[in-house]
């Protein structure tokens, strides 16, 4: 069955915008790989929401190559045109994570989405963050400068919200070194807000492509110590995504039709023992969640995050919050907590 598109003009425009950024990012990363001597196109994986009746999406993915450990550039466009009792009318999003294979090349996460409620309210979520296993102050500054140039009027607020959202209390650190996050952004001018989202996406694609290309050109084959540091950082990434990230949790709670895509942000390998060691550092309410995540991963060192493991991890997260909804209060937040799950009811 094919995808039935949303009827809302704003939804149609938002979907076109994120699809354009999706292709632009994939093209830039393919060019980086080709310049490094390892050309490889992204693979397209499509998924349907309720058989396509309520939309769906396409994920551009690549992994296990000389350049990319894992990269997922996912676009989703869903709607409830035939269900007028739903609070949500439509939601269109670009969610992407890139984990380069070389430890000296930083990972990057970006999310741009437009949500339209049945009552006519529409708002954007705009996130971008740089996630290196080997921090480089100059690279972080360039990433932030690109965001500041793209969103000068919103940069300070976005940076403050991002720093708050990506803090990991249990570990006393942040995930990443440069953060930007605008939640529920609605200036009242859809055209201006869409232009802001496009400017942010375009800026991130340009600066990130340059940072990866330069890192690959500047560094030789990675050492065992660099790979170990990268694996430890990838474990931090998985921990933050699965215990604190509201967007990931909301996606898993709303439906189970794209679990592998939603967890496309996870790197290929983590340190299972390191993850298990953090159970004693989280609040008591989250201990069962950490235990469930460890149990969902293969007992291996290094531990591969396979598609089967992603499905098991998705089930673990979903099952935990269905049984303990009060634990959602422990998740990361910016200035506003979006009612994502409630909107789908």
Residue range 98-116, pLDDT digits in tens = 999 999 999 999 999 999 9
Please classify residue 163 by burial: count the beta carbons closer than 10 Å to its beta carbon, then call 0-12 exposed, 13-18 middle and 19+ buried: middle
Look at residue 342 in the predicted model and tell me its pLDDT.
58
Per-residue pLDDT of 30-80, as tens digits, reads 999 999 999 999 999 999 999 999 999 999 999 999 999 999 999 999 999
- 45 backbone dihedrals φ, ψ, rounded to 5°: -120, 120
Confidence (pLDDT) at 343: 64
With cut-offs at 50, 70 and 90, classify the pLDDT of residue 2: confident
Place of tokens 């809302």: 8
CA–CA separation, 297 vs 314, rounded Å?
11
Q: What is the structure's pLDDT at 265?
A: 86
116: buried, middle or exposed (CB in 10 Å: 19+, 13-18, 0-12)? Answer: buried
Retrieve residue 37's tokens: 């001597």
CATH class of the region 9-221: alpha beta
CA distance 172 to 252: 26
pLDDT reading at 331 higher than 90: yes
Q: What's the pLDDT score for residue 255?
A: 85
Q: Check pLDDT > 90 for residue 198.
A: yes
Average pLDDT over residues 23-29: 98
Provide the pLDDT for residue 344: 62
43-48/55-63 β-pairing: antiparallel
What distance in Å separates the CA atoms of residue 123 and residue 336, rounded to the nearest whole number? 12
pLDDT in tens, 312-325: 999 999 999 999 99
- Gap between the Cα atoms of 10 and 116, Å rounded: 8
Judge whether 17 and 194 are in contact, CB under 8 Å: yes
Give the model confidence (pLDDT) of 280-292 as tens digits: 999 999 999 999 9
Long-range contacts of 272-278 (CB under 8 A, 24+ apart): 272/297, 272/298, 272/299, 272/300, 272/301, 272/303, 273/301, 274/232, 274/235, 275/235, 275/238, 275/239, 278/170, 278/171, 278/239
**Residue 43 CB burial class (10 angstroms; 0-12, 13-18, ≥19):** exposed
The pLDDT score that the predictor gives to residue 15 is: 98
Predicted confidence band at 337 (pLDDT cuts at 50, 70, 90)?
Answer: confident
Mean pLDDT (the chain, rounded): 96
Q: What's the pLDDT at 336?
A: 78
pLDDT for 1 beyond 90: no
pLDDT > 90? residue 225: yes
For 115-158, the pLDDT digits (tens) are: 999 999 999 999 999 999 999 999 999 999 999 999 999 999 99
Q: For residue 21, what are its two tokens? A: 């950024």
CB 79, CB 6: distance < 8 Å: yes
- 345 has a pLDDT exceeding 60: no
Is the per-residue pLDDT at 257 higher than 90? no
Structural domain spans, the chain? 9-221
Provide the 8-state DSSP code for 124.
E
Tell me what pLDDT residue 334 has: 81
pLDDT at residue 67, rounded to an integer: 98
């Amino acid at each position: 069955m094919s995808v039935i598109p949303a009827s809302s003009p704003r939804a149609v425009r938002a979907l076109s915008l994120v699809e354009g950024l999706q292709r632009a990012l994939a093209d830039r990363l393919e060019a980086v790989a080709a310049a490094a001597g390892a050309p490889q196109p992204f693979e397209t994986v499509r998924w349907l929401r309720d058989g396509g009746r309520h939309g769906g999406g396409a994920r551009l993915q690549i992994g296990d190559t000389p350049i990319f450990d894992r990269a997922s550039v996912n676009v989703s466009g869903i709607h409830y045109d035939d269900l007028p009792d739903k609070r949500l009318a439509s939601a269109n999003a670009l969610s992407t994570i890139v984990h380069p294979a070389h430890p000296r090349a930083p990972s990057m996460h970006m999310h741009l989405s437009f949500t339209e409620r049945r009552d006519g309210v529409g708002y954007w979520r705009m996130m971008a963050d740089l996630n290196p296993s080997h921090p480089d102050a100059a690279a972080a500054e360039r990433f932030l400068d690109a965001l500041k140039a793209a969103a000068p009027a919103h940069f300070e607020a976005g940076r403050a919200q991002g720093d708050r959202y990506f803090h990991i209390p249990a570990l006393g650190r942040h995930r990443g070194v440069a953060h930007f996050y605008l939640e529920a952004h609605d200036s009242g001018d859809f055209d201006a807000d869409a232009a802001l989202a496009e400017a942010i996406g375009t800026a991130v694609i340009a600066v990130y492509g340059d940072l990866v290309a330069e890192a690959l050109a500047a560094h030789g084959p990675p050492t065992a110590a660099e790979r170990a540091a990268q694996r430890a950082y990838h474990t931090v990434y998985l921990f933050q995504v699965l215990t604190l990230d509201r967007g990931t949790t909301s996606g898993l709670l709303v439906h189970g039709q794209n679990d592998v895509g939603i967890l496309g942000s996870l790197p290929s390998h983590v340190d299972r023992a390191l993850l298990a060691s953090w159970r004693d550092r989280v609040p008591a309410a989250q201990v069962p969640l950490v235990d469930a995540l460890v149990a969902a991963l293969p007992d291996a060192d290094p531990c591969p995050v396979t598609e089967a493991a992603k499905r098991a991890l998705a089930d673990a997260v979903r099952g935990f919050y269905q049984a303990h909804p009060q634990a959602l209060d422990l998740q990361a937040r910016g200035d506003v907590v979006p009612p994502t799950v409630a909107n789908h009811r």
